[in-house]
């Protein structure tokens, strides 16, 4: 006979891990989904321009990877990565001023995975992670998923303030600083060399890991390269440098890399084994073949020329269209312009009106830790040509006037 306490149906499975439910999706994702429809000029995505992919060159590289050894290309391979790709990445890093051997490179599935591996390797739940404010959304998600307490470092128009960093390190005893020093996402800012040197000194003096994320560094349109943070005295034994082929080859390849001190690298290899064993063999061999046979730097030069023109088109359109009390910066490279609406405006509210005018951007609020600045927004200039950019900014100006913020167009 059944007892009175027998369950009526199947018992629910146990709850999700707290960290999985603590990390929310993006609140603007819903609005941005509307921007996928045809006719919308979107400054929202952080995507490279697909018409600039070297599709023929990459196609040939995949064919070569199969032709040279389909058995190898289709087989499991080592966690650290294909030796020829590691060697090619190391040579590029060395040429950019950071002597690197192939053994110092771990190939990852996008630089996003390198970030996840570093987080898995370094962060205990409750550890403090310092970040620029604002910073890259998926990095915030990654650190929160790892259970970190994310604390923003005060920044100005050039990025991190080293003295404020030193104060925070002394007070919060953080595990690491995550920074995108070159053409930052979302602000486009670049940290000057003297501040990089100061950040490295703070890390060495007070004891701190540095995570330097550099997916945009090759996309410089003017000015001079600034040496990696990892190359500054004090940073050598404590910097995880994250690189990517996403913005200079194609993001669909999902190829990135980690260059880190040996012990951290070894721990990241173990974390990667647990995550995915290794990055796709065929993709690695195709990329290695591409690097051996095509002049990637010549390709990057062509991409830079197109993006420079688009950046300049956006700057010109913003100057001629937006009210005088709007502000924006002029990045020397990368993909993003960071803008600020006049007093009392809210970029998330403006986005709704903008989408009705068939133009989109990303409000700045979600990129912030702590109290966001609701007036800020990010404009990506890479995926439209100059004419569409001018048209898109015109629509943005109309949206701004309708939404109620118009202060009169500039002459
Ligand atoms: C700052 C930053 N880091 C990492 C990534 C991820 O790049 P990947 O495609 O190499 O994973 C992005 C992508 O937009 C990014 O903006």
Pocket flag, ligand 1, residue 111 (CB < 6 Å) = yes
Pocket flag, ligand 1, residue 251 (CB < 6 Å) = yes
Pocket flag, ligand 1, residue 136 (CB < 6 Å) = yes
Pocket flag, ligand 1, residue 185 (CB < 6 Å) = yes
Which protein residue's CA is at the shortest distance from atom 5 of ligand 1? Answer: 112
How far, in Å, from the CA of 242 to the mean position of ligand 1? Answer: 9
| pLDDT of residue 406 exceeding 50 | no
- Specify the pLDDT at position 45: 87
Residue pLDDT, tens place only, 162-214: 999 999 999 999 999 999 999 999 999 999 999 999 999 999 999 999 999 99
Mean pLDDT, the chain, rounded, equals: 94
| pLDDT of residue 6 exceeding 80 | no
368-385 average pLDDT score: 95
Residues 200/234, Cβ–Cβ less than 8 Å: yes
301-329 average pLDDT score: 97
Residue pLDDT, tens place only, 141-157: 999 999 999 999 999 99
Question: Which mutation among 49, 141, 244, 382 tests ligand 1's pocket best, with the greatest number of atoms within 8 A of CB?
Answer: 244
102-106 average pLDDT score: 97
Pocket flag, ligand 1, residue 181 (CB < 6 Å) = no
| pLDDT of residue 112 exceeding 70 | yes
How far, in Å, from the CA of 111 to the mean position of ligand 1? Answer: 6
Q: Is the whole model's pTM more than 0.75, yes or no?
A: yes
122-140 average pLDDT score: 96
Residues 257/243, Cβ–Cβ less than 8 Å: yes
How far, in Å, from the CA of 215 to the mean position of ligand 1? Answer: 6
43-68 average pLDDT score: 96
How far, in Å, from the CA of 144 to the mean position of ligand 1? Answer: 17
């Amino acid at each position: 006979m059944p007892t009175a306490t027998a369950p009526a149906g199947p018992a629910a499975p146990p709850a999700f891990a707290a960290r999985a439910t603590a990390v929310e999706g993006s609140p603007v994702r819903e609005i941005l989904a509307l921007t996928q429809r045809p006719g919308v000029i979107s400054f929202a995505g952080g995507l490279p321009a697909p018409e600039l992919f070297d599709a023929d060159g990459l196609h040939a590289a995949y064919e070569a990877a199969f032709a040279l050894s389909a058995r190898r290309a289709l087989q499991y391979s080592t966690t650290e990565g294909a030796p020829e790709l590691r060697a090619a990445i190391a040579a590029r890093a060395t040429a950019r001023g950071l002597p690197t051997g192939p053994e110092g490179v771990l190939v990852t599935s996008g630089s996003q995975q390198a970030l996840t591996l570093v987080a898995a390797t370094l962060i205990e739940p409750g550890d403090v992670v310092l970040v620029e404010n604002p910073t890259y959304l998926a990095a915030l998600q990654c650190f929160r998923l790892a259970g970190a307490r994310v604390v923003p470092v005060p920044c100005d128009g050039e990025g991190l303030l080293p003295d404020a960093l030193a104060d925070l390190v002394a007070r919060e005893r953080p595990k690491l600083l995550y920074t995108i020093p070159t053409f930052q996402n979302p602000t486009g800012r670049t940290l000057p060399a003297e501040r990089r040197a100061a950040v490295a000194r703070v890390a060495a003096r007070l004891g701190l890991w540095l995570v330097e994320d550099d997916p945009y560094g090759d996309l410089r349109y003017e000015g001079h390269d600034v040496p990696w943070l990892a190359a500054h005295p004090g940073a050598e034994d404590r910097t995880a440098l994250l690189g990517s082929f996403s913005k200079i080859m194609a993001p669909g390849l999902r190829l990135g890399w980690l260059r880190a001190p040996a012990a951290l690298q070894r721990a990241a290899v173990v974390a990667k084994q647990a995550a995915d064993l290794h990055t796709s063999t065929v993709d690695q061999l195709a990329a290695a073949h591409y690097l051996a046979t095509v002049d990637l730097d010549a390709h990057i030069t062509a991409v830079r020329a197109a993006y420079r023109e688009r950046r300049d088109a956006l700057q010109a359109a913003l100057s001629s269209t937006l009210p005088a009390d709007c502000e924006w910066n002029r990045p020397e490279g990368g993909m993003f312009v960071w803008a600020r609406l006049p007093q009392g405006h809210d970029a998330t509210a403006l986005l709704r009106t903008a989408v009705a005018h068939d133009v989109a951007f990303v409000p700045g609020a979600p990129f912030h830790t702590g109290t966001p600045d609701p007036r800020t927004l990010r404009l990506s200039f890479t995926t439209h040509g100059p004419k569409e950019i001018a048209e898109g900014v015109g629509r943005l100006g109309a949206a701004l006037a309708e939404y109620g913020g118009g202060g009169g167009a500039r002459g």
